[in-house]
Amino acid sequence: MDYFNYREQRLFAEDVAVEDIITEYGSPCYIYSKATLERHWHAFDSAFGKQAHLICYAVKANSNIAILNTLALLGSGFDIVSLGELERVLAAQSDPKKVVFSGVGKREDEIRAALKVGIRCFNIEVQGELDRINQIAGELGVIAPVSFRVNPDVDAKTHPYISTGLKENKFGIDIEGALDEYRRAAAMPHIEIVGIDCHIGSQLIETRPFLDALERVLKIVNALKAEGIVLHHLDLGGGLGICYNDETPPEPAEYVAALLKGLGDNNLEILLEPGRAISGNAGILVTKVEYLKPTEYKNFAIVDAAMNDLVRPSLYGSWQAIIPVQLGSKEPENEWDVVGPVCETGDFLGKDRRLALSQGDLLAIRSSGAYGFTMSSNYNSRPRIAEIMVDGDRMHLIRERESVAQLWAGEHLL
């Protein structure tokens, strides 16, 4: 999505110089590439060949409506986890019949809204959710399509905060209890069983854990078949990792080929819920150096973006590449901690980065298209920043920078 144009000595996003985007819309901002998003989605979709499948992009990774609309126009489905995400996919003109609803804490109003628009299915994660869905479907006079998200107790070998398929994690129905839940569902009047689901974690860089999970899930599929409960689809969740630094995750084609091999001759439609692998490397966060603060112990480059704009480094200690937007600095290279203005010692975007910096320079934090803007906050009363989509040589403002007035709209004095 981004590359250096060495003749111009500047970073480009597709055919537009990043500097020009900042001149137009100001710093900091998120910049996304439409072509990269589309290419990543197609990489998953085309890997399936003739096998029946649906790519349900995980909205939580990047829920900008223009991004959802770009994917909806390709025919994408969506994995949502809240009413807010449902509203977004509908606003993006996607087909509700391609929406799967995951999440451990679905409220009554969320279930009602999803039933009214006719989503593809609920991924049930708690016993009580089945009863709640059955009851609400009965009240509405509809049949609710459901799938159970089982927890296969597989180690995803990723950061503990984003590992979701272990027994100690809150997600999914314990795999041992799954058969009983399916039997219970089969006896309910307002429920139609359509599938099975699992999602074992995020930023996985090996195929093995996915295959282990698939094997365990297939055992349930076969046990159900023996009881006459025939499933239509198997949803293997998202989780395929991307390269932030030197990771070498499998390409979507390789990953899908391994899954199809593991699936054998099962006649199931396959659903996937990739988020990061589609939008992560389709976005950068651009920020300006406000001040340079060399000290006896550390050199700090204080930039105008902060942990409220991109929390991954502070929250997980994750590493994302930080590169200059203009090449050819006359300054010597030095080691810098790239930090924001927020009043937290944990407010950093990168540590010990070798960069040649001057005040006013622009920096790009790469791989920021997933879990960047969507995890941003207003901490320190900082307005959320703008999002720009580049399409070839055109730039589009797809979300305006929040104003300070918008920040406290809705608050009242006593």
Ligand X SMILES: N[C@@H](CCCC[NH3+])C(=O)O
Report the catalytic residues. 343
Q: Which is nearer to ligand PLP, 375 or 397 (CB)?
A: 375
Residues 198-227 that bind ligand X (CB under 6 A): 202-203
Asked if 276 touches ligand PLP (CB under 6 A), the answer is yes
Total residues interacting with ligand PLP, rule: CB under 6 A: 18
User: Which of residues 33, 82, 102, 163 is near ligand PLP by CB under 6 A?
Assistant: 102
Q: Which is nearer to ligand PLP, 22 or 80 (CB)?
A: 80
Compute the distance between CA of residue 397 and CA of residue 159 in angstroms, rounded to an integer. 34
The partner in contact with residue 79, picked from ligand PLP, ligand X, none with C-beta cut-offs of 5 to 8 angstroms by kind, is ligand PLP
Q: In whole angstroms, how far apart are CA 9 and each of 192, 324, 368?
A: 59, 10, 22
DSSP state of 15: T
Closest distance to ligand X from the beta carbon of 61 (Å) = 7
Residues 355-384 that bind ligand PLP (CB under 6 A): 370
Asked if 67 touches ligand PLP (CB under 6 A), the answer is no
Q: Which H/E stretch holds residue 145?
A: strand 144-151
Contact 374, 85 (CB under 8 A): no
Contact 377, 344 (CB under 8 A): no
User: Which of residues 274, 313, 324, 369 is near ligand PLP by CB under 6 A?
Assistant: 274
Asked if 202 touches ligand PLP (CB under 6 A), the answer is yes
Confirm whether residue 275 is marked as ligand binding: yes
Phi, psi dihedrals of residue 99, rounded to the nearest 5°: -110, 130
Contact 120, 100 (CB under 8 A): yes
Confirm whether residue 138 is marked as ligand binding: no
Confirm whether residue 24 is marked as ligand binding: no
Confirm whether residue 276 is marked as ligand binding: yes
Compute the distance between CA of residue 94 and CA of residue 145 in angstroms, rounded to an integer. 19
Compute the distance between CA of residue 252 and CA of residue 263 in angstroms, rounded to an integer. 16
Asked if 152 touches ligand PLP (CB under 6 A), the answer is no
Confirm whether residue 273 is marked as ligand binding: yes
Closest distance to ligand X from the beta carbon of 162 (Å) = 4
User: Which of 220, 215, 243 lies closest to 230, judged by CA?
Assistant: 220
User: Which of residues 57, 148, 371, 373 is near ligand X by CB under 6 A?
Assistant: 371
Q: Which is nearer to ligand PLP, 58 or 263 (CB)?
A: 58
Compute the distance between CA of residue 258 and CA of residue 277 in angstroms, rounded to an integer. 17
